[in-house]
Structure 1
């Protein structure tokens, strides 16, 4: 980042140059990195430490650090620009390990270094012991892409936690919560973690808080239900759009006269919606399933009024429109983010004719992958066998082609929750929630790797190191 200064030439440089260098930020020769201290972060996180120091005048600075005896595997923090007082958090650390570090600063292409200091990280917190057990039989069979990333996991019960785990089962990052569970979490394009939180009196994937954290542990955004335009319970999904606005699924209730179908004059029908909030908590946009369907025309509305559609995933397509999946009717919709119209319906009774044998019961973790294919985890409740499906949809002709159909082994089944994400063209990371298991499989369902979870995982996302570094990368 800065070219190395040749210190052997310092003594032949004129007095004027020496005076200029004294004003630079260097403890060793030129000036002083003052008040250097290394401290725990405020939450006592074992995988984060904070280096604080000051300079005589504004400087660009960063930290280089490495495991003791492994200077060839150098880590570097992002550059903090033009500051006099610094607090730089080190991440990508290992538990109970000794590290060395130095402060690096410079302006105008000249690099200055502090002395080298040493610290040791703490051990794994007791709360996190025994949560995840990896079965790794043959590392050589694992794709390179899988070994170059981590998995995002979280605990929905109280006390909650969010973690990122590598293929060896090593916890690479974590955040603990004392009085709340993590209902869902998502890694964003800004290298932050966005989550829905709630205490135990909220059911399953429903919550009353939005929290966005940086990978250095700073709170980027925190909003509780009842503040600003956050009036509804939210659930199942929380995303960050291209405008850095928060997009989530919301619970939407209406009093409907259901006497025509044998109900009451003022029956409560619980539906779903999409809510978009800006950084101040102001509502930017919303949509409700009541805008697209009339409950009175639904044949099972009396039976399903307490949970009419049960939206369970949301995805922002590249065109900015929304793809939303519903558990109860087995459909996936695309909703226009401008005019709120349903652009198409896919699944049972939808606009596309499914190929024979490619029918699905419910879709979870529905998304469009890098090849513009629609990927879903099908719970498979009718057959008591879950599967992963990948489709190529033509929204104009309403034709589809089945690109991938992978059935999980007989007996591997979850009637709720679950996820599937392609790691490369031939391997899939799939979460079988009700069995507390995560698998890496090939297209034929062969298991290469597995992880048993002490808690019930809602989903497990895969985050390549290319998206999380320098905060989380190879060790």
Structure 2
């Protein structure tokens, strides 16, 4: 378990090679492997190992590997195509474990393979010990879907950290950062992890760097504020759209004459927006709350001018338009991605008729779930009890119906942050940030599984192995 301290910490990657060149066929040079070596990744990650080798002629190659004595549970790296020199990263490894592997290449439908070699992974780094601890619930009765995936966690303080943890509490994947914290992270449809980073002088969920990582640990994209069209501080959300563009919430400021409401002639109001950047860092699209709402019409503007509205989550709907949630006024908006008009407002004082007794104070991690219903984590500040709400919205008639509500047990409450995501139709993974815990509950709110966190989790996102293979999967 991730929370247990392993006493054997003296192991290092060891490579056993008998000979330096193996010929699996004769003639034409195919199937000849040479210059075989095993190295650590540049950051010394204990759950990633690099296999280096060369072939006599250009061809496709990959690596098969397995825990020693468990060849029936063989893993396969992605295929590296049409090369002579190979550098293949092995993932989905366990700490402090003996492995065996062999090289495989092919040409014209013929398979060539090397001899079998061995290595041992390192132990878990000291800085990652004891961060997460799974409770003592009976794990055998958990839903199968929950056992067949991992949860993404991250540390918002410096040094930053992103990890994937399974239901047992075992760390399955991680990436460490030195001088920045991870403000928010999201698993993308391309099997990458996209994140907002910032040093400690940036508040809460605000950041000045965008980082996209492959699950092999490669940097896919990196951009820092001040470079290209990245000019604004970003916060709370970072997504990859269908065009592989980066979509994030941005901080917007306007100088506004607030004398009519008791303010100054030139007061600064800090609001929110949406920023879309392409892979070159060019701004493709942007939107600002100032274009949709006059701050002078907000009765609380003097009180909230330094953090007006406070957008805290963003979701790209199936039609390509944006769903954005605001903490301060308890509303969720849908914004047209073409003409930038607000299509509707849902929540406190919004366009929809709400069923009785199902209002919400604030919404975090607002999204459409797998059933296309609007799902949110309600902090519940007025009642000091957090809950999960799921609505069906008729966007034409502007009617909302409550599909179901999960009230968390009494005393389990977070007034800021938090998230809730479906695992299957009957269970929900909920992050209760201020209490440093993650819960799996049924719809009644009964706790089936729990995990304590040494740091304060902003959200916890579940990623099925079917979406993260071969980098993270079953053992």
Q: Normalising to structure 1: TM-score of the pair?
A: 0.94
Deviation at 1:78? Answer: 1.0
> What are structure 1's unaligned runs of at least 5 residues?
1-17, 27-31
Deviation string 1:255-311 (CA, Å, 9 cap, x unpaired) is 001111111111000000000000110000000000000011111111110000000
Q: Give 2:8's aligned residue.
A: none
Deviation string 1:196-252 (CA, Å, 9 cap, x unpaired) is 000000000000000000000000000000000000000000000000000000000
Q: Give 1:51's aligned residue.
A: 51
Q: Give 2:442's aligned residue.
A: 442
> What are structure 2's unaligned runs of at least 5 residues?
1-22
Q: Give 1:91's aligned residue.
A: 91
Q: Give 1:159's aligned residue.
A: 159
Deviation string 1:36-82 (CA, Å, 9 cap, x unpaired) is 11100000000000001111111111100000000000000111111
2:389 maps to 1:380: no
Rounded to whole Å, the distance in 2 between the matches of 1:412 and 1:20 is 65
Q: Give 2:27's aligned residue.
A: 22
Q: Give 1:289's aligned residue.
A: 289
Q: Give 1:315's aligned residue.
A: 315
Alignment of 1:264-413 (within 5 A): 264-413=264-413
Deviation string 1:293-340 (CA, Å, 9 cap, x unpaired) is 001111111111000000000000111110000000000000000000
SS in 1 for 2:434: helix
Q: Give 2:194's aligned residue.
A: 194
| Contact 1:159/1:177 (8 A) holds in 2 | yes
Q: Give 2:180's aligned residue.
A: 180
| Contact 1:325/1:364 (8 A) holds in 2 | yes
Deviation string 1:416-444 (CA, Å, 9 cap, x unpaired) is 00000010011000000000000000000
Q: Which 4+ stretches in 1 moved above 3 angstroms?
A: 18-21
Deviation string 1:372-391 (CA, Å, 9 cap, x unpaired) is 10000000000000000000
Rounded to whole Å, the distance in 1 between the matches of 2:415 and 2:342 is 27
Rounded to whole Å, the distance in 2 between the matches of 1:221 and 1:19 is 39
Rounded to whole Å, the distance in 1 between the matches of 2:91 and 2:266 is 55
Rounded to whole Å, the distance in 2 between the matches of 1:190 and 1:136 is 35
Q: Normalising to structure 2: TM-score of the pair?
A: 0.94
Rounded to whole Å, the distance in 2 between the matches of 1:380 and 1:439 is 17
Rounded to whole Å, the distance in 2 between the matches of 1:403 and 1:459 is 23
Rounded to whole Å, the distance in 1 between the matches of 2:206 and 2:293 is 23
Deviation at 1:19? Answer: 13
Alignment of 1:254-265 (within 5 A): 254-265=254-265
Q: Give 2:149's aligned residue.
A: 149
Deviation at 1:370? Answer: 1.6
2:81 maps to 1:76: no
| Contact 2:24/2:113 (8 A) holds in 1 | no
CA RMSD in angstroms, aligned pairs only: 1.1
| Contact 2:25/2:112 (8 A) holds in 1 | no
Rounded to whole Å, the distance in 2 between the matches of 1:71 and 1:274 is 49
SS in 1 for 2:414: coil
SS in 2 for 1:94: coil
Deviation at 1:399? Answer: 1.1
Rounded to whole Å, the distance in 1 between the matches of 2:118 and 2:25 is 30
Deviation at 1:20? Answer: 8.7
Deviation string 1:120-143 (CA, Å, 9 cap, x unpaired) is 000000010010000142122200
Deviation at 1:22? Answer: 2.2
Deviation at 1:34? Answer: 1.2
Structure 1 residues 146 and 20, CA gap change in structure 2 (3 angstroms) = closer
Q: Give 2:233's aligned residue.
A: 233
Deviation at 1:24? Answer: 3.8
Deviation at 1:458? Answer: 0.0
Structure 1 residues 19 and 37, CA gap change in structure 2 (3 angstroms) = closer
Deviation at 1:23? Answer: 2.0
Rounded to whole Å, the distance in 1 between the matches of 2:27 and 2:145 is 48
Alignment of 1:26-41 (within 5 A): 26=31, 32-41=32-41
2:109 maps to 1:104: no
2:117 maps to 1:117: yes
SS in 2 for 1:22: coil
Rounded to whole Å, the distance in 1 between the matches of 2:247 and 2:26 is 50
| Contact 1:250/1:273 (8 A) holds in 2 | yes
